[in-house]
Homo-oligomer: A and B are copies of this chain.
Amino acid sequence: MNKVITISREYGAGGHAIGKRVAQELGVEIYDKDIVRETVKASGYEAELVEREGEDVSKTGSFIKSICAGSAFYPNTQDAIHDVQQAVILQFAQAGPCVILGRCADEILRATDIKALNVFVYADELHRAVRVRELTGVTDPAELQKMLAKKDASRRAYYTHYTGKRWGDCHNYDLSLDSGALGVDLCVKLIVDAARSGE
């Protein structure tokens, strides 16, 4: 078995916390910021840029201009980062069972023979706002609502741009979980059970 678990998640839905516990229970690695670190190493771009451009498209919808404008291969930096990041994700997935957070990993692995369990974690606005408040310290409800909408919009745009599919459409995943309704513990249990089945 070489089962990789990809977790796509709405902002504030607890996807990272769930992924971390799933990885612990299965005794495998979880890759999130490591993807940024390795992409930085392999591409030479700055960490801040990779982090910003590796999963989000800015609200304006315009991809940032290339900082290596002379390149014949990459019309913009985001594409260049995406390609390096894709190679990094493949490398992690090929190394053995693991959990990979976001960054179109579901779609990247679909094109390979690596068996993946693709999960989407979402929640209603209230549950997400409470979590984002804890994470960021922001307390103003209107500000929290704006943060959720902005982050979702940019992740949706990134996913659609690089996969041609609709982010959060359950048909892209094997399992979609409402972490607000089910709770984090149950989400972890269901993902672990699904990952272990057929072992």
Residues of B within 8 A of A198 (CB): 183, 186
Q: How many copies does the complex hold?
A: 2
* Residue A190 is within 8 A (CB to CB) of chain B in the complex: yes
Question: A192 to chain B: closest CB distance in Å?
Answer: 11
**Number of A residues whose C-beta is below 8 Å from B?**
24
Look across to chain B and name the residue whose beta carbon is closest to the beta carbon of A182. Answer: B174
Give a binary string over A30-63; 1 marks a CB under 8 Å from any B CB, 0 the rest: 0000000000000000000000000000000000
Which one of A65-73, A137-145, A165-173 contacts B? A165-173
C-alpha spacing A193/B185, complex, angstroms = 12
Interface residues of A (CB under 8 A from B): 120, 122, 124, 168-171, 173-178, 181-183, 185-186, 189-190, 193-194, 197-198
